[in-house]
Chain A
Amino acid sequence: MPGVPTVTVRLFARLRTPVGSGVVSLQAGDIRTLVDALVKRYPALRSELVDESGELRGTIKVMVNGRNVEFLQGLSTPVGEEDAVAIFPLVAGG
């Protein structure tokens, strides 16, 4: 898609299993289109990332340049080729 940036996305913990790798590149202009593109390319990720209505699960953390998008513009947070995008399932420890 001309004009749509290619974004590098890093996946962590159990999200790596369906992809077989921790890094993928996708064309997307914001987080919503990025998640859509991700589950389209890797259908096995769908149940991990989105609920029955297609919305991003509340347990999934998407970070852009180290900031959780919930504290940016949510799914509308824009992304470009220079941005570091990381997606985490629910993890905890301490």
Chain B
Amino acid sequence: MQRRILRVNMTNRTATFEEVPSDYRTLGGRGLTSTIVADEVPPDCHPLGPNNKLVFAPGIVTGTSAPSSGRLSVGGKSPLTGGIKESNVGSRFAQTLARLGIQAMIVEGQAKDGYQLLKIGTEGVEFVDGRRWSGKGLYQAYEDLRSEFGEDADICGVGVVSERSATNSGLVFNDPEGRSSRYAGRGGLGAVAASRGLKFIVLDRSELPHVDYEDKETFDRGRQKLVNGLRQHDVTKPDGALASYGTNVLINILNEAGGLPHRNFSTGREELAELVSGERKAELIKQRGGTRPHACHPGCIIRCSEIWTKENGKDPVGVLEYESVWALGPNCGIYDLDLIGELNRACNDLGLDTIEMGNTIAVAMEGGLLEFGDGEGALQLMEEIRNGTPQGLMLMHGAKFAGTALGVTRVPVVKGQAMPAYDPRAVKGMGVTYATTPMGADHTAGYTVAPEIMGVGGKADPLAADKGALSQSLQRATAVIDSAGYCLFTAFAVLDIPEALEGMVETVNGVLGTSLTVDDIDGLGKKILDVERQFNKKAGFTDVDDRLPEFMRLEKLPPHDQVFDVADRQLDQVFEENH
């Protein structure tokens, strides 16, 4: 099926299919969302005003039989950072969008008369009055939507916090069982959707066409090499670390390395961490009859996901990712997986990004609103958010906003976005990535943890400060993987197995008819990052925005008693030159 761009104007309630401009033909995923945002969104616009746009793009190979490739990029100007944002998610929604022939969907304008639901299928686009789902929790809303539009529908939506313009608000997508648990969570794009008047998108999967290939033989050859690599690597193989324990397997190794932030980035290690580890969680899931492993979309052969339930095996939450467990757990001094699961459930139901929310609670704890370790108190704060109380309204805008409101100076954010689960004083390459990525503090932008802690894709001492080149090359490679549509976890195999990387490139060539090689990856990634950096510069960002919070240069982090000591000049060089 020929790929097209779907432009949805919420002001006029029109949906038009456009030919893909030649400049965009070989772009997908992040490369495409960032390019469209840079081309169409004025960098100085208000993120929730009439001129921002929300752009959805499945990856280049998404919708094909390429393994672990059900990824979607969502882009726009972020209300959290004030810069360009692409937030990435794994869901069948991405595959369905690609199979509908939609290379990108641009949502622009602002609805005049309340929230809309967009129903998209082979028959076209229908606008449905979405007001009746306004204010509902997302778990219930998704059940209702599946009853109305079919159990097999794929759904994207925003929660009650997006309706209140929260700068911590994500876009939620369905997991394979239809639950509202897969998030393009970072950067407040949920509020961008709601401010367009977009509440839900429902994809009708009946009579779904298949994705076209320019060169199926090359695609199949590449696919097989990649499948072989994923099945062989210790991390991604069928009984490997990710399938056995999920992403949360990282709790113990980061804690041991002194890089797992506890109590708002006060120490990098605590003995209690074992209580919320991947090993412990896998054991509990087995005891409760939950599901482990589990795939976030059909065709994923890594299967890092799971279904976490209450102690009685009921009320499934969905997956408890490492980042979520950490943010809502150790970072708040909470070491109880059931409490963390309920906090995660509340985030999923309200439409909140768990990383930002966990950091916000930790900052609130630092500010004296409640004690570190007070899980019940944290759950009460989630109810304040649900009910829209003044305190809830203060907490839904993220860690930076809460820090300002409560007079806290130790606020772990870059460009206004809260840090993920690696303390940059103990894993210094991550500090370079947090500081310099155009996205604000984002671990997925250049995952130096792989060589620094795991020994994947090379080996680097996590406490050594010379990490500019490492972060640069991983940021570029990541931008390409995010554009191809592969899950970032495929990188663990392709970084170590050259044939798998070659296979990945061949799958892209097979879909596009291009003749890219592995050597092209760095240059392609640089181009995407340059587009994003230029947008941010025009939005007013300077070198000062590429810095970590001051306290991380001043306060030593136990147990290694390290500060973040990467020179500013080295941070600036990440985008100024080739290392």
Where the two chains meet, the residues of A that have a C-beta atom closer than 8 Å to any C-beta of B are 12-14, 16, 22, 58-59, 61, 63, 65-68, 70-71, 84, 86, 88-94
List, in ascending order, chain B residues with CB within 8 A of A68's CB: 257, 455, 461-462
* Bound CA–CA A83/B235 (angstroms): 28
- Contact assessment for A90 and B241 in the assembled complex, using a CB-CB cutoff below 8 Å: yes
Binary flags per residue of B396-415, CB closer than 8 Å to A gives 1, else 0 = 00000000000000000000
Query: Which residue of chain B lies nearest to A71 when distances are taken between CB atoms in the complex?
Result: B461
Instruction: State which of A58, A59, A66, A93 has its C-beta within 8 Å of the C-beta of B247.
Output: A93
B57 at the A interface (CB under 8 A):
no
* Bound CA–CA A84/B256 (angstroms): 9
Given A91-B235, A94-B444, A94-B447: A13 in contact with B257 (beta carbons within 8 A): no
* Bound CA–CA A91/B455 (angstroms): 9
The 3 A-B residue pairs whose C-beta atoms are closest, nearest first, are A93-B247, A90-B234, A91-B241
- Contact assessment for A93 and B322 in the assembled complex, using a CB-CB cutoff below 8 Å: yes
Given A12-B279, A13-B244, A13-B278: A91 in contact with B459 (beta carbons within 8 A): no
The minimal Cβ–Cβ distance linking B169 to chain A, given in whole angstroms, is 22
Q: A92-B250, A92-B454, A93-B249 are in contact. List 18 more A-B contacts (CB 8 A).
A: A12-B253, A59-B234, A59-B455, A66-B269, A70-B455, A71-B461, A88-B256, A89-B241, A90-B241, A90-B454, A90-B455, A91-B253, A92-B235, A92-B249, A93-B247, A93-B278, A94-B488, A94-B489
B242 at the A interface (CB under 8 A):
yes
* Bound CA–CA A61/B456 (angstroms): 11
List, in ascending order, chain A residues with CB within 8 A of B256's CB: 12, 63, 66, 84, 86, 88
- Contact assessment for B257 and A66 in the assembled complex, using a CB-CB cutoff below 8 Å: yes
* Bound CA–CA A84/B247 (angstroms): 24
B contact patch SS: helix
List, in ascending order, chain B residues with CB within 8 A of A94's CB: 247, 250, 322-323, 443-444, 447, 449, 488-489
List, in ascending order, chain B residues with CB within 8 A of A13's CB: 241, 244-245, 249, 252, 278-279
- Contact assessment for B461 and A93 in the assembled complex, using a CB-CB cutoff below 8 Å: no
**Subset of 27 A-B contacts with CB under 8 Å:** A12-B253, A13-B241, A13-B252, A13-B279, A14-B241, A59-B234, A59-B455, A61-B253, A61-B454, A65-B559, A66-B257, A68-B455, A68-B462, A88-B253, A89-B241, A90-B235, A90-B454, A90-B455, A90-B456, A91-B278, A92-B249, A92-B450, A93-B242, A93-B247, A93-B304, A94-B443, A94-B447
* Bound CA–CA A62/B499 (angstroms): 28
Where the two chains meet, the residues of B that have a C-beta atom closer than 8 Å to any C-beta of A are 234-235, 241-242, 244-250, 252-253, 256-258, 269, 278-279, 304, 322-323, 443-444, 447, 449-450, 453-456, 459, 461-463, 488-489, 492, 559-560
* Bound CA–CA A4/B244 (angstroms): 37
* Bound CA–CA A63/B462 (angstroms): 13
* Bound CA–CA A68/B449 (angstroms): 13
- Contact assessment for B252 and A61 in the assembled complex, using a CB-CB cutoff below 8 Å: no
* Bound CA–CA A66/B423 (angstroms): 14
* Bound CA–CA A91/B240 (angstroms): 8
Instruction: State which of B244, B246, B443, B447 has its C-beta within 8 Å of the C-beta of A14.
Output: B244
The minimal Cβ–Cβ distance linking B491 to chain A, given in whole angstroms, is 9
Query: Which residue of chain A lies nearest to B250 when distances are taken between CB atoms in the complex?
Result: A93
- Contact assessment for B304 and A66 in the assembled complex, using a CB-CB cutoff below 8 Å: no
* Bound CA–CA A58/B233 (angstroms): 13
List, in ascending order, chain A residues with CB within 8 A of B241's CB: 13-14, 89-93
List, in ascending order, chain B residues with CB within 8 A of A70's CB: 455, 459
List, in ascending order, chain A residues with CB within 8 A of B488's CB: 94
The minimal Cβ–Cβ distance linking B449 to chain A, given in whole angstroms, is 7
Given A13-B244, A61-B454, A66-B269: A91 in contact with B250 (beta carbons within 8 A): yes
* Bound CA–CA A55/B460 (angstroms): 21
List, in ascending order, chain A residues with CB within 8 A of B492's CB: 92
- Contact assessment for A91 and B258 in the assembled complex, using a CB-CB cutoff below 8 Å: no
The minimal Cβ–Cβ distance linking A89 to chain B, given in whole angstroms, is 7
- Contact assessment for B456 and A92 in the assembled complex, using a CB-CB cutoff below 8 Å: yes
The minimal Cβ–Cβ distance linking A71 to chain B, given in whole angstroms, is 4
- Contact assessment for B234 and A89 in the assembled complex, using a CB-CB cutoff below 8 Å: yes
The minimal Cβ–Cβ distance linking B292 to chain A, given in whole angstroms, is 14
